[in-house]
Amino acid sequence: MKKMTLRTVPAVLLAVFSGAASAAAFQLLEQNASGLGTAYAGSAAVADNASTIFFNPAGMTQLQGVQLSLGVAGVGPSYKFDNDGTTGATGGNGGDAGGWAAVPNAYASWRLTRDLSAGIGISAPFGLATKYDSDWIGRAQSVKSEIRTINVNPSLAYRVNDKVSLGFGVNYQTIDAELTNAFSRLKGDDSAWGWNAGALFTLSPAMRVGLSYRSSMKYTLEGKANGLLPIKADVELPDTVILSVWQQVSDRWEAMGDVSYTRWSTLKTLNIVNRSSGALLTSETFNYDNSWRIAWGAAYKATDAVKLKFGIAYDRTPVSDDDRSARVPDNDRLWLSVGGQWSAGRYGKVDVGYAYLYVKDASINQNKNGTFLRGDYDAGAHIVGVQYSTGF
């Protein structure tokens, strides 16, 4: 078996931050569990705990004192292939290529002065995990595909006046990837720097609008093929912009909405080349388009201690029918979410959430490595999450 091994990232830490894609392609929205119940509507405007560091660092100006927020989401996608005329190989349908994975997060913010706040977050913005039976009919194209990231995000926020707050963060992100098929195993890792920024507009005590941006992350994977041949691979993961609104409709009702745009067109082809000569050794084709997502959610204050949440979202895939691969058999998806929050006063608050992702059936017609893979995917996902937030 051909093997490419690059610099090693500590395996234990990466195992903790494993992830299975929940948003379009292999983006992960589960950067808190408190937003899961509303399908992450209003993500850049809600700012009700320290996880705002990821979605909009300007939201830290809404928090008092020292705030801590810890959470985990369990993501369970399912990808079941149904063969329909594959040629060039024999075998089964591969079983369920999905499976459960944990996506944890941790955030802390400090109100340094009346107008200045600082914070830090640890999260996993991208993740992918698909694995087929080793003897399936599409094994020449894919058996295992795994991408894991860890993002460390120190941030600052400044309250310009009663109406406007600004935020900025620096991101240090590591990536660990493994792509296998019946003939080869590609394994690599790298780290990169990026940034995020946001603005929060308090139009009234009952309405906020948030605008945020996360930069793309550019990686260069370097190593050796078969322990001898020096290689490298350049990859750029996408940037994202979010526009959100939050409104206190009444004493008991809150409403929120979200529109986001992700520039997946940064990811066209992953080329593994000879670092000395520049000769192409192998490649993985993505040809992704830019994608967008819209979400609407609401929260109902049932009692002074209990809040109920629900939301709906539509997530458009960057994957076209012509370029869909067995590694990422993605398609448009609909989020249906419910959740709740229990406040224990000075002991903090606990959020729980659940979402079912209905994924549109996806067809595949891919000719690679001697196999013309033809068929359809039945896909979907369950997501559960819990978040604990407290302040002092």
Q: Judge contact between 246 and 261, C-beta under 8 A.
A: no
Residue 346 backbone phi and psi in degrees, to 5: -70, -10
Instruction: Encode burial over 333-353: b for 16+ CB neighbours within 10 A, e otherwise.
Output: bebebbbbbebeeeebbbbbb
DSSP characters for 88-128?
S---B--SB----EEEEEEEEEEE-SSSEEEEEEEE--BEE
Predicted confidence at residue 18, as pLDDT, reads 53
- Please give the pLDDT value at position 282: 82
237, 126 Cβ separation under 8 angstroms: yes
Q: pLDDT tens digits, the chain, 392 residues: what are they?
A: 333 333 333 333 444 455 566 667 889 999 999 999 999 999 999 999 999 999 999 999 999 999 999 999 999 999 999 999 999 999 999 999 999 999 999 999 999 999 999 999 999 999 999 999 999 999 999 999 999 999 999 999 999 999 999 999 999 999 988 888 998 877 788 999 999 999 999 999 999 999 999 999 999 877 776 767 787 889 999 999 999 999 999 999 999 999 999 999 999 998 988 888 888 888 888 999 999 999 999 999 999 999 999 999 999 999 999 999 999 999 999 999 999 999 998 899 999 999 999 999 999 999 999 999 999 999 999 999 999 999 99
Q: CATH number of the domain at 2-391, out of 2.40.160.60, 1.10.3720.10, 2.170.140.10, 2.60.120.920?
A: 2.40.160.60
Contacts of 188 (CB under 8 A, 6+ apart): 4, 5, 6, 7, 176, 177, 221, 223, 233
pLDDT at position 21 is 61
CB distance 102 to 72 below 8 Å:
yes
Tokens of 348: 């903090």
Rounded Cα distance between 218 and 216, Å, is 7
Q: What is the pLDDT of residue 391?
A: 92
275 three-class SS: coil
pLDDT attached to residue 66 = 97
